[in-house]
Every structure is written in structure tokens, then in C-alpha cells.
Structure 1
Amino acid sequence: MKVVCVGGGPAGLYLAILLKRQDPSREITVHERNPEGSTYGWGVTYWRGLLDRLQAYDPASARAIEEASVRWSEGVAHVRDLTTRHQGDEGFGIGRQRLLDLLADRARILGVRLEYESEITEPPTGADLVVAADGVHSTLRTRRAGHFGTEIVPGRNHYIWLGTTKVFDAFTFAFTETEHGWIWVYGYGFSGEQSTCVVECSPRAFTGLGLDRANEGEQVALLEQLFARVLDGHPLICRPGTAWLNFRTVTNRTWHQGKLVLLGDAAHTTHYSIGAGTTLALEDAMCLADSLRTHADLPDSLADYERRRKSELLAAQSAARHSAQWYENLPRYVNLPPHRMFALLGQRHSPLLPYIPPQLYYGLDKAAGRLEMLRRFKRWLGPRAARALHARSVGRRR
């Protein structure tokens, strides 16, 4: 089989690795339109579950990724002058470029051919399988948008992806109130020297603060002032060409046409606030590799991949929609006491939250939590109580 992957991001590179591991005789080429070593963004996040799956599919790359990652187990929220900190699940951060370098090195070792500064706009005629892993702006998908049934829905809020030399020791949220409304930042470390800062605000705050009219230097200076407390004197870093965006949710009615198949952001996007974009792209690659291994016929393989991934993505897509809406309706929650606001921040994926008064939802959630703790205690106590009663009855008989 001759496979062409269009796009040298995490999805395309990892699929190439998996397909080459399955069958070293496959001729696999990855085409990336940008020069090697150039990437957008800063760091990406993932969680322990992904690392376990990477270990199962390719231990060598999983080990390299884990060793190059930083980790945290707490979340911190700064609201005005108040701060709350909570213990959470173990999370990981890794520089996007570092991740790409590790995957590219692994692919080369396995015999994958990598072609940089190589733009593919039409499926090569000599390929048996063409994978469109060329991102949210996928050229291969856009030229066939009618067939794929592509829908792109822009979000309301504005955001920009920046870096900083401040290394956060926890996943950090900071909410700042201005006369034009709220503006906030998500911050997380991805190396021992730098962190990612995603800044988001409503349209009213965006225009009221003049961010729509300011140049790059003026924007950075204003944001450094607004988030001075969490930055501790460290600068924000803006790569050339970085712009404010509205997140676009991409969906497709179908993911394949003939020998062409969509992968990663070309097939679907989920709002950055759930931190799952890279994870979902890598899981796409795992699923497609599995389908190609278990089905000898290519159309059956692609149909199986699409069916399985669409089903698996339902929960993440729902969570992403509700998470984005939570931030779009931030004034509904931000005036709660910080520990309550942070608790509801953790519940932002809930489809019920928008329809229940926040204070009432918080109380119900706390009560449900106590009830669950009681259930766990009863489950723990049950076998022990049974053994104690049994021992007592035996003693009586004696």
C-alpha cells in the first residue's frame, strides 16, 4: 500500500508511525507545506489516559513524549483579587514543536518519508490512500466541501494564543474585570522555561478595550497590564502574524470519498477550553490505523473508521459546546464566591448548568457529591460488615 499523508501535524505523523509499524513494507510519505521546525501555537495539553493509549500503540514514542512533558495536578483560579486552588487530575503539557520533532524523528526511524515545504492540493494519482490531515483550513476538504457536507460555525468570543516566560505550577485561570466587561487567560506550563497563555474576551470587551484597533505591541502591553498579578513581571510573547480569532467549530457529514479520508482538525474541531484537540487528533490516527488493519477492503476500512470515531466523539463534542457557552455567559458565574465559581468551572461541560440557577446547581452538586461518598462508603463497608456478622454468628454457634 502506498499512503500519502497531507499535513505534518500530530495526527498525520502519528498515523504514519502506526501504519509503518503495522507493515514496514508500506510506502508512506508525509507532506507538510511549512518548513521543518516552524509551527503555530505554543504548548499543548493532554492527560494520563492518552499517555496510556500511546504506550499501548507505540511505546517508543510514548516514552519520548512523557519524558519531554511537564506535569501538574492542581488548578488555580484568580478572580479579581481573590484566589482559590484545587487538587485535580494529573495533566501534562508539551511544546507543540517539541511534540512534532519527537514524532518526526520516530517516523524517520521507521522509514517514513517526510517532505517539508511540499503543498498538496489534490490527491496524488499514484497513492492507494490519501489522508487529509491538513488542519481546520484543509485544502483537500474545502475543495470537496459539498461532498463532505462541511459546516463551520464561528464562536462569539475572541481569543489569541500567546506565550510567556512565567512557568505556571498549576493549570491557571485568571479573570480580570474591566469597565468594558471581563477578559481572562488560561495558562499552563509546557517546558521548564515557558507557558502557554490563551487570552479570551467577549466582543464588547474586545472593542471596548481597543484590541480591535491596537497594533501588536499595544495589545501585548495592555494584556501584560491586565494580567500583571499572575504574570509576576514576566512578559507575554507574541509570535509574528499572531492574530485574534473566533474559534470555528468544524463538522462534516461524511469523512471519506474514494481513497481520500479526513483526519484530525480537517474532520472535526472541539473548543480549546476542554484542552482535547491534540488528544482527539492522535486518537483519530489510532482508530484509522486499527480500521485499516482489521478490514482488507479500503472502503470498509474508511467506513468503519468514520462510524467508530463519530460515535466516540459525541461526548467530547458535547462537552466542548457547553464549555464554550460557559465562557460566553461568564457574568452568570463570575460573581459567585471564588471556590463556588471554580467548582462550576469544573462543571461547565454539564448540559443542565445553563438551565439551573448557579447557586442552586452548586448546592445540588455538593449534595450529590456527599451522596456519592456515602454510597462508596457503604460499598466499602458492605463486605466488611458481612464478614463481621458471619464471624459473630460462627462464634455464637461455637
Structure 2
Amino acid sequence: MKVSCVGGGPAGLYFSILMKRQDPAHDITVYERNPAGSTYGWGVTYWGGLLDKLRGGDPESALAIAAESVRWSDGVAHVGDRTTVHHGDQGFGIGRRRLLEILAERAVSLGVRLEFEHEIAGDGPLPDADLVVAGDGVNSALRERHAGHFGTKITVGRNVYIWLGTAKVFDCFTFAFVETPHGWIWCYGYGFSDGHSTCVVECSPATWRGLGLHQASEAEGLALLERLFARVLEGHSLIGRSRTDGSARWLHFRTVTNRTWHRGNLVLIGDAAHTTHYSIGAGTTLALEDAIALAGALRGCGGELRPALARYERERTTALLAVQSAARYSAQWYENLPRYIRLAPPQMFALLGQRHSPLLPHVPPRLYYRVNRAAEQFESLRRFKRWLGPKVARTLQARSREAGPRAASGSPQARAPVRAR
């Protein structure tokens, strides 16, 4: 099979590795519009279960990824001058650039061609191939040329965020919440190498504007954020990625979904197919799992693409249901931070860990905390909680679908969103 992967991110590179391992005779080219070694972002996170899957797919690259990753098992939350620690599952961080280097080197060693600084434009011809894999990210040009067919839907989050680096090495997953005269601002920090960490800063638009970050240059914004988070940074600076005009890269997160993931010989993978809010740290894992599923669906397909791509789509859309729900509720938790931030630190951190729950927005926080603690001790309550959560989620989804036609007719009730109280 002749395969063209558009986009040299984790999904496209790992897919090319798996396909070459399945059949060295596959003719595979990865097209990346940026120069080699040029990538956005700092570090990415993943959990131990992903390593097990990578070992099954390609032990050599899995070994290299594990060797280059840093590990943590604790989470710590700083709320003003209060601190609480939670002992949890082991997590991993690795620099995005180093991850791509490992995958690119492995792909080349197997005979994959990498063509850097080669852009496949949305309005240009597709590569001449039996299969074209669109791994060109959240702004996928290949997806957009057929957005109507794919049924692409993009939902924009309310809060603003900026992706930064720092020389402060966090030895656990760190949250810091700082109150300002204009509202709360917070960061998530995690190590990804011996010398650097990722630091994602988030706040509401009102806080962002109140602090003047909407009009500050990157240098001015970083200086302000360093003062606000001085306690957790311990004197270390923040590192940005300014635009050519010196402005900072503050963003609203965009959740991408698609009704279908393939059209003819074109198939979506990774962020081109779906995105999940960064607060659950699953983006890279899901992209690599897409690659595993797509390669598995194509194994032994005998050139019959349509059933293989349909199988891939079914498998991944089913697997993503729970993750997308968790990401949606996680983003909403932060958008409704004032509802939780005044709780006692252990309660607040416990509900931070429960932010993916569809029940939490509809139950008073302190009551939810007590019920959750009781559920940890009594199996009957655990079963009831597991039963009730999906039931609430399905009810809310049904209401949302019913609101669509009413909203189109201009009903004010249909336009009123369901909000956490």
C-alpha cells in the first residue's frame, strides 16, 4: 500500500512506524510543513497504560520514550497560602520535541520517508497515494476542505489560557490558584525533563482583562505571571513563545468533533479528528491510540479501505465517549471555579479530582464531597454513583438535542444554558 501521512506529529509518525512493522513493503511518506526540530509546546503527559500499548506496538520506540520520560506520583495544590497533597497514580512527562525526535528516528530506520518543509495545502491536490492520513492538527486543512462531509463541529471554551515553559522542575503535578482583585488565576505545572517543566496558565476573560494581560506584550505578561506565581516558581522565570509582533499566545480552547472520520481514501487522525481539553492531559495519548487503532484496522484488509476505515472510526469514537465527557466536565469545573475554591483544601482538592463527574455540577459541593467519601467505604453507594452519573449525562445530552430545534425557532427557554449552581 502507498500511504501519505500529512502532518509529522505523534499520530502520523507512530502510524507510519506501525504500518512499516506490519509490512516493510508499504511505501510511506510523512509530510511536515515545519522544519525538522521545530515544534510547538513544551512537555506532554501520559500514564502507564499508554506505555503498555506502545510496547505492544513497537518495543524499540517504547523503550526510548520511557527512558526519556520523567515520572511523578503525587499531586499538590496551592490555594493562596494553603497547600494540600494527594498521593495518586504514577504519571509521566516527556518533551514534545524529544518525543517527535524519537518517533521520527524510528520511522526513518524502518524505511519511512520524512519530508520536512513540505506543506499539503487545503486547496491543493492530495498526495498520490492509496491512503491519505490527515494528521495535520486542530486546524486541519485537509479536514476543512470537506468540513461538510465530516460534520465538523468546533466548540470554543470560555476561559483563556497560555502554554508556557519554566526552568523550575516540578517533582509532582502541581496546581497553584492565586486570587487577584480581578478574580482567580491558576496554573498547572509538571516536569518533562531534568531541566524544564510545562506551566499552563488559565483564568476567566474578566480576570485576564482586569489584570491587563489582554494588551500586555509577552515580556510584560510573563513578568506579571512570575510575580503572581512566585511561590511555586521559587525564583525561576517563565518562558514564552511570542508572535512576531511580540504579543503573547493567549487562546480559548477549541473542542473539535466530527460526525465521520473518513471520506474515500482520506482519514482523520489525532487532533484533526478530535480534541479534548488540556486539563485532562490526554491529547497525545489519544493521538497515539488512534494510530494503533488505524494500523490495526488496516492489517490484512487486502486493499479494501472502506470497511477498514469504518471499523477504525467505530472503535475510536466508542473509546472516546467517556474521555470526551470527562474533558467537557473538567473544562466546566474550571469555568465555575468560584463554586469550589472556598472549600477547605482537602475538600477542594478531592473535588478537583472528581471534576470529570457529570453529577458534580448539579450537587452542592460539600454534599457531593460527603457522598463521595461515603461511597469510598460502601460498595452499594459506589454502585449507585456509577449508575447515576451516566444517567444524568444522558438526560443532559437529550435536553441539549431537544433544545436545538427550539433554539432555531427563537425560544428564550431553549437559549438558557444549563449552568452549575
Taking structure 2 as the reference length, the TM-score comes to: 0.88
- Residue in 2 aligned with 1:227? 229
Partners of 1:44 and 1:190 within 8 A in 2? yes
Q: Report what 2:80 is aligned to.
A: 80
Aligned to 1:164: 166
Q: Distance in 2 between matches of 1:223 and 1:263?
A: 35
CA–CA distance in 1 between the matches of 2:279 and 2:228?
20
CA RMSD of aligned residues (A): 1.2
- For residues 294-373 of structure 1, the aligned pairs below 5 Å read 294-296=300-302, 297-372=304-379
Which one of the candidate residues 293, 296, 302 is aligned to 1:290? 296
Instruction: Judge conservation of contact 2:160–2:252 (CA < 8 Å) in 1.
Output: yes
Shift in Å, 1:374:
11
* Alignment match, 1:265: 271
1:17 aligns with 2:24: no
Between structure 1 and structure 2, the one with the greater Rg is 1
One-letter amino acid matched to 1:168: F
Q: What per-residue deviation string (whole Å, max 9, x for no partner) do you get for residues 188-235 of structure 1? A: 000000000000000110110000011111100000000000000000
Question: How far did residue 295 of structure 1 move?
Answer: 2.9
Residue 278 of structure 1 corresponds to 284
SS of the residue aligned with 1:83? strand
Distance of 2:127 and 2:117 partners within structure 1: 20
C-alpha separation between the residues in 1 aligned to 2:195 and 2:128? 45
Q: Which runs of 4+ in 1 moved over 6 A?
A: none
Q: Judging changes above 3 Å, is the alpha-carbon distance between structure 1 residues 229 and 259 closer, same or farther for their aligned structure 2 residues?
A: same
Q: Is the 8 Å Cα contact of residues 375 and 381 (structure 2) preserved in structure 1?
A: no
Indicate the residue corresponding to 1:115 in structure 2: 115
Per-residue CA deviation, residues 53-102 of structure 1 (Å, 9 max, x unaligned), is 00111100000000000000000000010000110000000000000000
CA contact 2:4–2:127 (8 Å) conserved in 1: no
Corresponding position of 1:389: none
Match of 1:190 in 2: 192
| Partner of residue 44, structure 1 | 44
Distance across 1 between alignment mates of 2:221 and 2:69: 30
Q: Please show how residues 87-126 of structure 1 align to structure 2 within 5 Å.
A: 87-121=87-121, 122=124, 124=126, 126=128
State the match for 2:7 in structure 1: 7
Answer yes or no: is the 8 Å Cα contact 1:123–1:130 preserved in 2: no
Sort the Cα spacing of 1:150 and 1:373 in 2 relative to 1 into closer, same or farther, 3 A: closer
Q: Distance in 2 between matches of 1:374 and 1:3?
A: 51
Match of 2:53 in 1: 53
- Greater shift after overlay, 167-176 or 293-302? 293-302
| TM value normalised by structure 1 | 0.93
SS at match of 1:34: coil
What is the CA–CA distance in structure 1 between the aligned matches of 2:325 and 2:128, rounded to whole Å? 39
Counting aligned pairs with the same residue, the percent is: 70
Gap runs ≥5 in structure 1: 376-398
Distance in 2 (CA, whole Å) between partners of 1:125 and 1:5 is 9
SS at the partner of 2:299? Answer: helix
Q: How far apart, CA to CA, are the structure 1 residues paired with 2:98 and 2:365? A: 41
- C-alpha distance in 1 between matches for 2:293 and 2:300: 11
Q: Is the 8 A contact 1:123 1:140 kept in 2?
A: no
Map of 2:154 onto structure 1: 152
The CA deviation string for residues 253-290 of structure 1, in whole angstroms up to 9 with x for no partner, is: 11101000000000000000000000000000000000
Aligned partners of 2:379 and 2:43: how far apart in 1?
36
Shift of 1:143: 1.1
The count of corresponding residues between Structure 1 and Structure 2 is: 375
Contact 1:123 1:260 in 2 (8 A): no
One-letter amino acid of the counterpart of residue 202, structure 1? S
Paired letter, 1:80: G
How far apart are the structure 1 equivalents of 2:189 and 2:88?
16
Does 2:142 align with 1:140? yes
Once residues 330 and 51 of structure 2 are traced to their aligned partners in structure 1, the CA distance between those partners, rounded to angstroms, is 24
Q: Could you tell me how far apart the structure 2 residues matched to 1:195 and 1:22 are?
A: 36
Query: Would you say the 8 A contact 1:294–1:301 is kept in 2?
Result: no
1:396 is aligned to none
